[in-house]
Amino acid sequence: MSGFEVAGIVLGSVPIVVSALQLYVKGASTINRLRFATKELKSLTRNLQTEHIKLQNVYEKLLADIVPESQIEAMINNPFGPSGVHQK
């Protein structure tokens, strides 16, 4: 697996984890005994979102020297590549 594939997996999975945590926070907030957990999950969600943005910035800087600027945004927005295209 190349570094770009690993980077794509990491970059693509962070928003999924953030979304799952946000849904869990919504469900947990209805239960009063989970108030502390809700605060911790919100903090974790914020921290993951921050790290996701940092990771995107790093990838953009790394790609800037090897990929045309017109393609960088598309690569960041679709880290797994075009649909239906898989390399073995």
Q: Encode pLDDT of 43-64 as tens digits.
A: 999 999 999 999 889 888 888 8
Mean pLDDT of the chain: 79
> Alpha-carbon distance 13 to 23, whole Å?
16
Q: Is 74 exposed, middle or buried (0-12, 13-18, 19+ CB in 10 A)?
A: exposed
Residues 6+ apart with CB under 8 A from 8: 79, 80, 81
What pTM was computed for the model?
A: 0.56
pLDDT of residue 88: 46
Q: Which two tokens stand for residue 17?
A: 């984890």
Residues 6+ apart with CB under 8 A from 12: 79, 80
Share of the chain above pLDDT 90, in %: 14
